[in-house]
Chain A
Amino acid sequence: MLQLKNITLEKEGKKILNKINLKLDDNRFYVLTGPNGSGKSSLAKVIMGIESPNEGEIWWQDREITRERIELRAKEGIAFAFQQPVRFKGIKVSKLLELAAGTKKIRGCGVLAQVGLCPKDYLDREMNGSLSGGELKRIEMATVILRKPKLVIFDEPEAGIDLWSFQNLIEVFKKLRKNYHGTILVISHQEKIMEIADKILLLKRGKLEEVEKIDNLRIRQKCGCRGGCIHE
C-alpha cells in the first residue's frame, strides 16, 4: 500500500502539488486524470523519488520513503513509465531491457511481443531518435513490465499509440495485476481507460479534488467534449 500524507511540491514559488492526501491499495487499478499542467506527472515523480516534496510524507508498505533514493524505491517494487520516453545514444533496446530486468537472460522473451513489437525487429535497434514516438512509448512500457512491479505508474501510456493498441494495453494492465497483485496507477485522459478503473483520481491545479468512482456519463457531462478527456 502506498500512502501520501500532505504532499506539497513547489517549483519557482508555485505550488505544483498542494497538500495531497492519497491511499493506494494493493491489487487495485487507479486512473489519475485532470487538465494539462494540473500536476499529474509531478505526482508520479514524487512517488518515484524523481521529485522531492517540500512538505509531507510518502509511505510504502508501512515504511516511510519520503527521502529514499530513486533506485532503492525501484528495488522495492515501484516502477514508473515516463510520459516522454528517454532516448539514449548507442544503447540498444536489448541492453535497456536487460538493465530493466536486472539480468542478461531475457533474449527472446515475450515482453516486446506483449507491448506489440516484434522482438527480432527491435532488440538490436538503438534507443535513439530513429525509433518512432509510439515505438519508444511501447519500449518504455516493456521496461517497467520487466521490473515485476508492486506499484506501477504509467504516465499517459496511450499517448502516441495507435489502435493496436487499446485492447493490448488493457491486457498489459490485466496481466500485471494478475502476476504481481500490485497496484496500477495510470495517468490518462482516456475515458476508455477510466471505464476499467476501480477508482478515478481527479487532480486540478495541484489539488486532489475527488477520489471516487465516476461513471463515464458524468465525465462526459463535466467535460462536454467527445474525445474522452476531462478538461473543464
Chain B
Amino acid sequence: MNKLEKKLLKQVNDSKMTGAVNIRKNGKTWQRKNSQWVTIKDSQDGRGLEIWVKDNAPMAMVDIPVLLTESGLIETVDNNFYIGKNSKVVIYAGCGINNCGTKDTVHSGRHRFVVGQGAEVKYIEKHYGEGGNLGQKEINPVTEIELVKDAKMMIETVQIEGVDQTERVTKAVLQAGASLVINEKIKTSGKQKAISSFEVKMVGEGSSCRVMSRAVATDVSEQKFISNIVGNQKCFAHVACDSIIKDKGKVTAIPKIKANHVEAELIHEATIGKIAGEQLLKLMSLGLKKEEAEEEIMAGFLN
C-alpha cells in the first residue's frame, strides 16, 4: 500500500484491525484475514462479500474498508452479513475516494444484515473524499437490516468531507424486542449534494428505534433527509433531524411516521436553522473571530 492509500485508509478507518479484515482497493480484495469468530469469503455470484459471524462470539471485530484511488472507477458491491445468535460484533466499514483525475469515481455499496437473536452489532461507517474538483467523488450506500428477536444494532455514520454526491438508503425491519440506534452526521460544502432516507418497519412487540441525524450544509450545498417509520405493534421510535445551514446551503426534512397499533409511540423532530447568534457572540467574547467561532460551533455539532 502506498503513502496516499495509507493516509486515505486512516481517514476512514481508525480501528487497529485486530480481528477479521478485508481491504478492498480499486475494485479488488487486496488483503483478507479471518478470525476465530469471523469468516469472510467472496459471495457466490462474485458481486461482493459474505461475512459470517459465529453464534456467541464474545467480541468479534470486522474491518472492511474500501479505497478507490483510480479516477473513473465505478463499482457496485453487494455485501451480506450474517450475525450469529448472541454474538457481539463491531464492524468498521469505511469508504475513501481519492480522485485527482477528471473522471467520476463512484462506489455504490449494498450491505445486507441479518442479525440473529440476542446479538449486538455496532456498525461504524465513515465516508471521505479528496482530490481535485474535476472528477466527482460519489458514494451511495444502501443498508438493509433485519433484526431478529431481541437483536440490537447501533450505527454510526459520518460523512465529513469531500464527497460530492451521496444517496444513502437505510431500510430496517425490527422483530420483537429488537432495537436500532442510528447516529448520522453529514457535512456538505461547495456544490455537494446528499440525500439520506430511512425506512424502518417495527413489526415486533417491544421494538425500538432511535435515529439522530445531524447535518451541516454550507456554501450552495444541499441535503435532504427523508424518514418513514411504521409501527405495527407496541413499540417506540424517536427520529430527530437537526440541521445547521450557512451561506446558501439548503436542507429539506421530510418526516413520515405511521402508527398501526394503539400502543405504538412515534416521535419525529426536525430543526433547521442557521448558527444561533448568541452562540457566535459568546465565542467571540472569548476572543474568537467570527469565522473561527462558526468552525468551532459546526465541528462541535458534528462531533
List residues of chain B with CB within 8 A of the CB of A80: 285
**With A86-B278, A88-B279: A74-B285 Cβ-Cβ less than 8 Å:** yes
Stretch at the interface among A94-102, A158-166, A168-176, A210-218: A94-102
Q: Mark A79-107, 1 if CB is under 8 A from B, else 0.
A: 11010101011111001000110100000
From 247 to 303 in chain B, residues with beta carbon under 8 angstroms from any chain A beta carbon are: 276, 278-279, 281-290, 296-297, 300-303
Contact of B302 among A84, A90, A99, A143 (CB under 8 A): A90
Q: Check B287 against A74 for contact (C-beta < 8 Å).
A: yes
Q: Do B286 and A88 touch (CB < 8 A)? A: no
Q: How far is the CB of B295 from chain A (nearest CB, A)?
A: 11
Q: Is the CB of A90 within 8 A of B303?
A: yes
In Å, the complex CA distance between A102 and B286 comes to 8
Nearest CB on A from B36, distance (A): 34
B242 at the interface (CB under 8 A from A): yes
| Contact of B301 with A71 in the complex, beta carbons under 8 Å | no
The CA of A13 and the CA of B185, in the complex, are separated in Å by: 44
Chain A, residue nearest B296 (CB): A99
Chain A residues with Cβ under 8 A from B287's Cβ?
71, 74-75, 102, 147
How far does the Cβ of A101 sit from chain B's closest Cβ, in whole Å?
A: 9
Is the CB of A113 closer than 8 A to any CB of chain B?
no
Q: Which residue of A lies closest to B282 (CB)?
A: A86
Decide if A90 touches B288 in the complex (CB within 8 Å): no
List B contacts of A95 (CB < 8 A).
296, 300
Residues of B within 8 A of A92 (CB): 300
Q: How many residues of B contact A (CB 8 A)?
A: 21
- A89–B286 touching, CB < 8 Å: no
Residues of A near B214 (CB, < 8 A) are: 89-90
Q: Mark A43-85, 1 if CB is under 8 A from B, else 0.
A: 0000010100000000000000000011100110001101010
Contact B303 A91, beta carbon cutoff 8 Å:
yes
Interface pair A86/B279, CB less than 8 Å apart: yes
Q: How far is the CA of A43 from the CA of B200 in the complex (A)?
A: 53
A143 B286 Cβ-Cβ under 8 A? yes
* Chain A residue nearest to B298 in the complex (CB): A90
Given A99-B288, A102-B287, A147-B287, is A90 in contact with B301 using a C-beta cutoff of 8 Å?
A: yes
Inter-chain contact A100/B300, CB cutoff 8 Å: no
B residues 172-216 near A (Cβ < 8 Å) are: 214
Min Cβ gap A9→B in Å is 16
- With CB as the reference atom, state the residue of chain B lying closest to A80: B285
Chain A hits for B289, CB < 8 A: 71
Which residues of A lie under 8 Å from residue B296 when comparing CB positions? 91, 95, 99
B 79-99 to A, binary, CB cutoff 8 A, 1 in contact else 0: 000000000000000000000
The interface of chain B, by Cβ under 8 A from chain A, is 214, 242, 276, 278-279, 281-290, 296-297, 300-303
10 contacts across the A-B interface (CB closer than 8 A)? A71-B288, A71-B290, A80-B285, A88-B279, A88-B300, A91-B303, A95-B300, A99-B283, A100-B286, A147-B286
Identify the 7 closest CB pairs spanning chains A and B, nearest first. A91-B300, A90-B300, A74-B287, A70-B284, A86-B282, A90-B303, A90-B301
